[in-house]
Amino acid sequence: MAITAEGLIQLGYKPEIDFSLQNDSGDTYIKSWMSGDAQPTVSAIEAAEVLWQAAYDGQAYARARKAKYDLLNQDEMRYDDTKNSTTTWVDAIDAIKAAHPKP
């Protein structure tokens, strides 16, 4: 593994405020440390990046759902359902949730 911005962000630091990274030939390192805190160790950054990645991976279903929700014209669907006594919108949402269940 290596130093990542995600690991430092997981530790509570802000890019360009607390730190800046540089990548030379595929090797990322902390170019400058501007935080008042002591610079975390590489192993602490790597451990935090693992936590960040697990949280990110755990939200894959939510990202997939949002992409599908964005394709729907939900306001129009709800309006049409109200006017026509149908359940088109609910059916579409249920289908998306079934296709991308929470883990």
Q: What angle do CA 13, 18, 22 make, to 5 degrees?
A: 100
Domains, the chain, with CATH or none: 5-58 (3.30.56.60), 60-99 (no CATH)
How many Cα atoms occupy the beta-carbon half-sphere of 7 within 13 Å? Answer: 21
Q: Following DSSP, what letter does each residue of 20-68 receive, concatenated?
A: EEEEETTEEEEEEE-SSSPPPPHHHHHHHHHHHHHHHHHTHHHHHHHHH
CA–CA separation, 96 vs 9, rounded Å? 32
Residue 19's SS3 state is strand
For residue 52, give the nearest of 85, 101, 102, 3 by alpha carbon: 3
Could you read off the pLDDT tens digit of each residue along the chain, which spans 103 residues? 789 999 999 999 999 999 999 998 888 999 999 999 999 999 999 999 999 999 999 999 999 999 999 999 999 999 999 999 999 999 999 999 999 999 8
pTM metric for this prediction: 0.74
3-state class (DSSP) for residue 17: coil
